[in-house]
Amino acid sequence: MNKRFTFASLFVMFLTTLLPTSAIANETLIPKGAVCVVDDGFRIVLVEELITGKLSLPGGLIDEGETPQEAAEREVWEEAGLVVTAQEILHQDEKATIYRCRSDSDIIVFDLETRNGFYRIPSWFAPHYGVETGAVYLTEPYKIKSDKYRYPEQLEQLKHWFAKPLESDNKITWVNNLVDQASDIHQVELQLLTSLRVSIDSLPAVINISIKMFFTVINETGTEIFFYFLFIVALVYFGRESALTLLFGIVLTVVFTGLAKQGLGLPRPFVYVPQLQLTQANGFGLPSMNAMLATVVYGVFYLSLKRKQISSVALRRFGLFFIGLIIAQSIAHIWLGIHFLSDAIVGIALGAMVIVHFSSLQRKHGDLLYRVMASLPFWVIIALVTSGIAFTMQYMNYLYMASLCWGVVLAILLSKEQPSLNIKVCFITLFVLLIMVVSARFGTGLLLDSLEVSSVTVLTVKSVANLSLILMLLTISAWLPRGITHKKKDN
């Protein structure tokens, strides 16, 4: 989809979709969009949309001054990285014109079949890779599940068109890997990663399975739900000032690494060797957001513990534990094939720079630093900055971070922190907030499943969900201890 339109329409709330409704082309119609069917006679090229998570044909809206053919050709290049020529019209209605397109060169395809029966097409050089497009595939239409395809009615047309093999000018070149396309340092790292995999696989079964389970579990500590858990722990046991400092570190990391990745455009290991991928990941790899995020989050936790003036022995043990966890997470991401060693090293270094600088400010200004980071003017500025970046760069993660920031602004306006030193009250608050997070994420998923899928719908629902969740966490963490305390006094 055209990313400029997608984000602009989110802000002005214009909803536009590409839903073909007729099987007969009508030349008198003026379609809003253009779509390409790129095939080899019985398999078609599909893009996996990053925002919706659905599969669709490459295509999008027609820009002003473009012909439908030009729009179709441009969208295929932007989303799939293929240079094509739009030929005959397969279908046309008021929403879109669907062309059958011929690739100007051979289509490079990895010969590794995914669990869904798809074959991955290298596409990291496509302009919208990692922003709109998560992956590009080649597959037969009958292998596509209707709940995974964005336009179910269109899927039936595709199955009908390719019920029998067709003649096609498109040629497929099958490859096992594209290591020779990687930079020199990445080629060395790919060899090391492959050797590591072989070494682990050669170990006795019990040890082999144990290592794989360990890496898989450690990888879960880098997920969104886990960072919500850490935020809640900081909110309940360290207070709102420390929790908002932690949240600022998360926002800073997500925005900074996102900008760096888009600017550098360096792919992940599995882009060159798809056999290396053992878990879900998308976009570019350098710097590792996971590594920087872990370093910043655990660094803030360490400084918060230091602020509590716990014993030096306990503080040292926590520090060693956090360092070990950061290293273990980075190794897990490397082993799972989603990061190079250099990605992790750069991510950890950037995170360490943030923590060292923050620690210096903490020594100089003390509690004043935390009060500033929990103040209304500070979060209004952060919300405005992230909103500007989201609208300018048009990337979903920036939009989600902006919604979190506006949720904090509303929470500061609506509630004031009520500290509680009662262990029981803290535990009850922690439990309630965790239930809220799980319920909110589950409810958001159910809501999206019940709605007609579009980029605008997904962005709107998730943004509102993020804003509402952070608002509820901050306000309820302030009101609940007060309510429990008053109830005890009344009794």
pLDDT digits (tens, 9 = 90+) for 282-304: 999 999 999 999 999 999 999 99
CA 374/CA 246 separation, integer angstroms: 10
Q: Take residue 29 and report the two structure tokens written for it.
A: 């119609």
pLDDT at 486 over 70: no
Q: Give the mean model confidence (pLDDT) for residues 354-360.
A: 96
The CA–CA distances, whole Å, from 418 to 145, 425, 480 equal: 51, 12, 9
Q: Is the pLDDT confidence value at 196 over 90?
A: no
Over 60: is that where the pLDDT of 14 sits? no
Confidence check: pLDDT of 24 > 50: no
Asked whether residue 5 carries a pLDDT value surpassing 60, the answer given is no
Q: How many CB atoms lie within 10 A of CB 218?
A: 18
In percent, the amount of the chain with pLDDT more than 70 equals 92
Q: Which segment of 56-60, 278-282, 355-359, 374-378 scores lowest on mean pLDDT?
A: 278-282
Give helix then strand counts, H and E, for the chain.
16, 10
pLDDT confidence bin for 423, thresholds 50/70/90: confident
Among 172, 175, 148, 146, smallest CA distance to 43 is for 172
Is a pLDDT exceeding 60 seen at residue 401? yes
pLDDT tens digits along 310-336: 889 999 999 999 999 999 999 999 999
What is the chain's mean pLDDT, rounded?
Answer: 89
Q: What is the pTM of this model?
A: 0.88
Residue 418 pLDDT exceeds 80: no
Mean pLDDT of 484-491: 62
pLDDT in tens, 207-241: 989 988 898 888 888 888 888 899 999 999 899 99
Q: Which two tokens stand for residue 331?
A: 């190794």
pLDDT of residue 309: 81
Return the higher-pLDDT residue of 383 and 8: 383
- Is residue 412's pLDDT more than 70? yes
Question: What residues contact residue 416 under an 8 Å CB cut-off, 6+ apart?
Answer: 478
Is the pLDDT at 124 greater than 90? The verdict is yes
User: 162 pLDDT exceeds 50?
Assistant: yes
Please measure the distance between the N-terminal and C-terminal CA atoms of the chain and give it in whole angstroms.
Answer: 60
Give the pLDDT confidence score for residue 488 in this predicted structure.
60
pLDDT of residue 118: 95
The pLDDT value given to residue 247: 96
Q: What is the mean predicted confidence (pLDDT) over 106-121?
A: 93
- 310 residue type, one letter: I
Determine the Cα–Cα distance for residues 302 and 474; give it in Å rounded to an integer. Answer: 22
Let me know: does 3 contact 394? Beta carbons within 8 Å. Answer: yes
Query: Computed from CA positions of residues 124, 400, 478, 358, in that sequence, does the dihedral angle turn out positive or negative?
Result: positive
Helix (H, G, I), strand (E, B) or coil at 133: strand
- Please give the Cα distance from 452 to 439 (Å, whole number): 22
Asked if omega into 377 is within 30° of 0 (cis), the reply is no
Name the least confident of 117-121, 189-193, 375-379, 477-481. 477-481
Q: Rounded CA gap, 259 and 393, in Å?
A: 9
- Residue 420, pLDDT score: 60
Give the pLDDT score at 331: 92
Query: Can you give the pLDDT at residue 314?
Result: 93
Query: Confidence class of residue 19 from pLDDT cuts 50, 70 and 90?
Result: very low
Instruction: State the residue for tokens 């490079």.
Output: 108
Q: What percent of the chain has pLDDT over 90?
A: 72
Q: What average pLDDT score do residues 480-484 get? A: 76
CB distance 176 to 122 below 8 Å: no
- How many CA atoms, within 13 angstroms, populate the side-chain half-sphere of residue 55? 23
- Whether the predicted pLDDT of 22 surpasses 70: no
Above 90 in pLDDT, residue 443? yes
Check pLDDT > 70 for residue 27: no
β-strand 33-38 against 84-92: which pairing, if any? unpaired
pLDDT of residue 28: 53
Per-residue pLDDT at 12 exceeds 80: no
